[in-house]
Chains A and B, each alone.
Chain A
């Protein structure tokens, strides 16, 4: 039965200790009774308890026999036009990633934004969304947001603020603002840029500084402002030097879509794939998608890039022997592949690499004639790009010299995230008056005199540019919930008063920027489409300088600083969806770790969970270790963003603060890290702490070559019972109308978690917190399993999204005693919450374990604002009921009603899209009617790569997978 033709090469496993079956691992894996699972809520006192006891008895007896309470209903006083109660509206606007715009379409129910989707017309979205865009809506309703203007912690008002501001400004008037400073993050908003220009005019001696912990300055320095725009789809060979262009990149959504489209294989005929080479120190989403990935120290990448350049005959005098095997092999192969694909290849380097690498990369791309073909010179997008490290350094110098009288910090949290050796906090103390403007009251706000709560972008007018310079006008969907003020209004207060509304400010800047005959029409069209039609500006030809590449390759430990894959630089620290999102590969949530390589762990006798003391540049922190296959041998990765001391109820004291080691000269990596075992232990909450694949065939993969010779290799791995192998009538229920089904293309999936968070947002899925996750009670309806394959040092990294399979022979349904989970005539496996009594038998009998149970009442304790964010089309589940993926039933029904109201036409293919499929950047999830042979999903299911997970159990899953294909270079069979 379970014989695997390629069993030898596909032995999946998911953690190191498991591969080396050490006794420690056994003990850890077999921690049969994990720490105190005991559950008691302390705040309940004796008397309450007795009262509750009484109540509970009543509850037990009469709980079901309580009649429905009367409800009030409050109509509008004035019916707003366009709002039809019960019908959601959609508005185009944009969110930002490190300042770069990503177009979104926001769903609004009776004026409450409830869901964020991508804007198909926007170049940086193409209809997809990042996890952060999805989670923004939760931030909007975050009850911990700063709600009032405060002065020294005391609640104050805008009207108290202005006089004090003006007093300070008058003094600055005389000196031309020599004591006036503004500190912002990376900004792409033309309006804000224009305002700051006006500001500079008014106060010639004032300075505008920038600091963004995720700064892309290395690229800007190299290119002299504009970032290249890559046409990934056109590249058949891609070499990435530590660039996570599929995940942590302003254009990630677009690049991911293009990348996947160039790898899509369904039939043998005309099957072609691009080939991705990645050299990176720590596993990333991009690295996981590589055909050839090498784990190398970040510091060696410059050398490697140079060697590659030498291989192409661009530079001389580099001794490749300095590089350890198999790096030279990798370089040679890459070089040959590149030169064989001149003009059809691309080389890209990450923002964490020094300018020199970017210069080399440009050189290589030029040499290959990729510029203009797969690479287009970019426009200047960032307003006033500069070396932010130097910028913040200068500001701190001024502050220390007492030269700063009035400081505005627009967004960000420099006290927490500025380079630690510059000691921003102490310097800030010397500024005479500082005003902080941010969404949450954070560490910086506390250190400032004034704090002005920022309006959330869903509450405010603004604008922003995408990676390629496409502008989007950001429009509000809801009046500010609290006393939020936009940055525009705050700057306006500095340069001119009375302050106009952000609407007028933004509108004016566009009126001046794009004077046209019918401005109002253009304006409305821009708002409707979420993009402003591009005036063809002159692109900045990237300045090509030749960088002198040094052969580094020092020995010793290297420290890497990377933004947290969930909460980025800490700006999403108080977002519970993101905190509870299982991180790629590690599946850690509510935490961060010091990620070390298996080799280092062996050498230092470290186990996952050991707390180590890390010393770097004289600073020390304690951090728990996570052993990560595919980590470069001597690199230790720290994710910064967690360890917040002042971040609201969710984010406070989660994980440790990696910024405490991040210095100006080692923003992204640096040598000289020392590591010492402390002996204490730390419990990680992971959604997958048991990892062995045990030679099973949930995940199936092969190579393009294998596929073209043996197309059915995947479906043959297990033997699936025939339809008619039954004593019953196999056609007892023939599904006449729509037959909904799903295909998940493992070849496209990059494991970015967008589906998980999109589902959480769409389906009112609650979060449960670190402890509940650690005892196995997470609630996400679609999870992403990750599997490793190959050696511990250079493993293949694979992802597999797992939602409910909607089995036609659903094992869960058979065992439910009350018929709370049943089938409908369109093949959906339904979970009827209001019928469920909570025997949990269905979950026991579900081989996929995709069912989630409400072990406690998880929704009643939500704050009023959080409740506003719930999707009214989906039942909010109560305590004691089972829940699971519904294929977004609410969307199917909505589409059906639309279709039937529209002269009873039938639902068009693609008209229904589950949240996961809609958010997916690579279109890895295809959903539709499998009775319609022309539908996309049917076409995918016809692929020989199509297989049903555990279909050998005769569950007949409606959700099936396309096996993953890799396109290795024959030269590098070993890698």
Chain B
């Protein structure tokens, strides 16, 4: 009988097999890559906002405290987005003509809200409470990053459940003293674990495992 395939086909056959295996692995890797990429997580993706508000300018530049605008951060689950009024307390004196601030003035005159694009947006089935986190010693910059260095606000964390669990499983690595909560530049020192353990004790943080119960965040 005559040969059906040429001698080369032996190599080709083996190549095909290896290729398919590689392809499958690559597929898996790609999915996870996309899943963790800014495309999906929006991490480090600045959004265009009605007003290009700069935390850098207001926090680092003018030294305004977080709580001046995010008033309910210590009392409510929601930290609070400043009302137009709050902006106008200063901007009725400063930059009154600035073109950038036109939407703010318009909002006040027309009595319609500014529509910001939400940067830190948890899914609706996850219930996060700012007040309790702040009280237990989780600082702003731990989740929100160095907003004092952000000319326009972006996300610094994926907000994936895995990420939440990192802290809920080992709070000691992230806690800070009450007086450091709003301190942007704060970062853990060498003896953080020791400090963390001490804060856990003094803030009555239950590390027996309740923090990783589904009911802690999902209702």
Contact = CB atoms under 8 A, between A and B. Distances in A.
Q: Are A and B interaction partners? A: yes
A87 interface: yes
A522 to B, nearest CB: 30
B218 A833 contact: yes
A86 B72 contact: yes
Contact of B84 (A72, A75, A85, A825): A75
Interface in B13-49: 31, 39-40, 47
Interface stretch (A370-378, A591-599, A873-881, A919-927): A873-881
Contacts of B204: 900, 904
B107 interface: yes
B169 interface: no
B78 A85 contact: yes
Contacts of A79: 71, 83, 85-86
Contacts of B84: 75-78
A822 B214 contact: yes
Nearest to A874: B219
Contacts of A890: 127, 219
B32 to A, nearest CB: 12
Interface stretch (B109-117, B145-153, B179-187): B109-117
A876 B107 contact: no
Interface in A125-184: none
Interface string B108-141: 1001111111100101111101011001100000
B49 to A, nearest CB: 10
Interface stretch (B3-11, B94-102, B191-199, B205-213): B205-213
A875 B113 CA distance: 26
Contacts of B117: 70-73
B82 interface: yes
Interface in A808-823: 822
A470 interface: no
Contacts of B71: 79
Interface in A221-273: none
Interface in A881-933: 886, 889-890, 892-893, 897, 900-901, 904
Given A72-B115, A77-B107, A830-B214, A87 B219 contact: no
B123 A834 contact: yes
Contact of A67 (B40, B125, B129, B210): B40
B77 interface: yes
Contacts of B131: 897, 901
A832 B214 contact: yes
B53 to A, nearest CB: 12
A50 interface: no
Contact of A901 (B113, B116, B132, B206): B132
B210 A824 contact: yes
B210 A833 contact: no
Nearest to B107: A77
Interface string B51-68: 000000000000000000
B92 interface: no
B81 interface: yes
B113 A828 contact: no
A68 B125 CA distance: 13
Q: For chain A, which range describes its interface: under 10, 10 to 19, 20 to 34, or 35 or more residues?
A: 35 or more
A73 B86 CA distance: 16
Given A74-B114, A825-B210, A889 B83 contact: no
B80 interface: yes
A443 interface: no
A873 B126 CA distance: 10
B93 interface: no
Given A86-B72, A828-B215, A893-B219, A75 B82 contact: yes
A78 B82 CA distance: 9
B219 A886 contact: yes
Contacts of A76: 83-85, 113
A816 B113 CA distance: 45
B206 A75 contact: no
A897 B77 CA distance: 10
Nearest to B81: A75
Nearest to A74: B113
Given A79-B83, A79-B86, A875 B107 contact: no
Given A78-B85, A897-B132, A85 B76 contact: yes
Contact of A876 (B115, B124, B127, B135): B124
A87 B83 contact: no
B85 A875 contact: no
Contacts of A86: 72, 76-78
Interface in A29-72: 65, 67-68, 70-72
A72 B214 CA distance: 27
Interface of A: 65, 67-68, 70-79, 84-87, 736-737, 822, 824-826, 828, 830, 832-835, 873-876, 886, 889-890, 892-893, 897, 900-901, 904
8 contacts: A75-B84, A77-B84, A77-B112, A737-B206, A824-B210, A825-B208, A826-B215, A904-B204
- Which 3 A-B pairs have CB atoms at the shortest separation, nearest pair first? A86-B78, A824-B213, A74-B113
